[in-house]
Amino acid sequence: MGFVVGLDAGGTSTRALVLDLDGTRLGAGVAGGANPNSHPPELAAAHISQALTAALDGLDAAKVESGVLGMAGSSKLLSDPAVSALFEAAWTGAGLRCPMRVITDCEAAFATGSSSPDGTVLVAGTGSIAARITDHKLAGTVGGYGWLLGDEGSAFWLGREAVRATLQALESNAPLDPLATAVLTMADLPAEPSRDTWRRLITRANQSPPIHLSHYAPLVTAHHETPSADRIISGAVKALADLAMSCREEGDDTPIVLVGSLIHAHPLGTRLRAELTARTHATVRIATEGAAGAAWLAAVDILGTTAPRPC
């Protein structure tokens, strides 16, 4: 019996999963982020290689009959020949002989949460995007512009807002609330209101790659009872719900699948599910592993839509 392989490559991590054709998991691998828009393409491709190598450890890679790479930043991979060559080299370097079919992380995520051919997927992780899925394929998106142009409600957005709220608190010379104190502690700065701390936080935030602002996101949910954090969470919930609803027509009752680290962050994820349930009569589901959806789609390429779901 042959195998299939699926990968979910995001801005923070890359996961690879190998299944046999009855849906049984045979191997899995994890590596760093592989979005070529937020990481150097050479590093992104290296992470693909690492995840594949780990997932295929002890298996005959030549038996993989179909493979799907679901990824954030797929547009760069598909449009830039140099980047595509790096990823192809990582694919074949892992011993795979089947073609590398590239899809968006949205398609992989929806297939993880639902076997329905149609519906909506909302990705809320390092970045944010909503997509309309028709016949298991991407039919349209809202958002997903990346950290510079958008990603409202994402982990990057939350982290940036946490740092901005801290800077505003420092400007006012008011006592620092728990969120601001936590931000300064993570930045390795003294938790005391002063102009010097204000300058040093700006410098510290700009010294790192912009995507590193997402590291501050967990502080927002950890201190959700703080008024400044609650305002940030409320803004994120509204932005993410608006993204999802922008992909749907009135009366649409197809499933909504949620995926990404923020979906599991309390209370943001809970409030987001409640907001979507209030706005639509659709079933709201959570997908936990995009690599499983990518692997199932790889099996669908061979067996059709009756392909067993991953065990």
Concatenating the DSSP letter of every residue in 115-182 gives --SSEEEEEESSSEEEEEEETTEEEEEEE---TTT--TTSHHHHHHHHHHHHHHHHHHTPPPPHHHHH
What is d(CA 295, CA 21) in angstroms, rounded to the nearest whole number?
10
Considering the domain boundaries, does residue 77 fall inside one? Answer: yes
CA angle 278, 284, 287 (to 5 degrees): 145
Mean pLDDT along residues 127-153: 91
Q: Is the predicted pLDDT of residue 75 greater than 90, yes or no? A: no
Q: Is the predicted pLDDT of residue 73 greater than 80, yes or no? A: no
Mean pLDDT of the chain: 93
pLDDT band at residue 125 under the 50/70/90 scheme: confident
Q: Say how many CA atoms lie within 13 Å of 44 toward its Cβ.
A: 28
Considering the domain boundaries, does residue 13 fall inside one? Answer: yes
* Model pLDDT, residue 152: 94
* Model pLDDT, residue 299: 96
* Model pLDDT, residue 308: 92
- The CATH code of the domain that includes 108 is 3.30.420.40
What are 31-63's pLDDT values in tens digits? Answer: 998 888 878 899 999 999 999 999 999 999 999
Mean pLDDT along residues 222-227: 96
Nearest-10 Cα torsion for 106, 107, 108, 114: 100
What is the token pair recorded at 267?
Answer: 């209370």
Q: Does residue 307 sit in helix, strand or coil?
A: coil
Number of domains within the chain: 1
Q: What is the CA radius of gyration of the chain?
A: 20
* Model pLDDT, residue 94: 95
pLDDT band at residue 101 under the 50/70/90 scheme: very high
Mean pLDDT along residues 211-240: 96
Considering the domain boundaries, does residue 84 fall inside one? Answer: yes
* Model pLDDT, residue 260: 85
The domain in which residue 84 lies consists of 3-115+289-303
Q: Is the predicted pLDDT of residue 78 greater than 80, yes or no? A: no
* Model pLDDT, residue 71: 87
CA angle 167, 169, 173 (to 5 degrees): 115
Considering the domain boundaries, does residue 56 fall inside one? Answer: yes
Considering the domain boundaries, does residue 93 fall inside one? Answer: yes
What is the token pair recorded at 20?
Answer: 């046999």
CB contact at 8 A, 36 and 55: no
Considering the domain boundaries, does residue 25 fall inside one? Answer: yes
Element (H, E) at 58: none
Q: Is the predicted pLDDT of residue 213 greater than 80, yes or no? A: yes
Considering the domain boundaries, does residue 28 fall inside one? Answer: yes
* Model pLDDT, residue 292: 94
Considering the domain boundaries, does residue 7 fall inside one? Answer: yes
pTM of the predicted protein model: 0.80
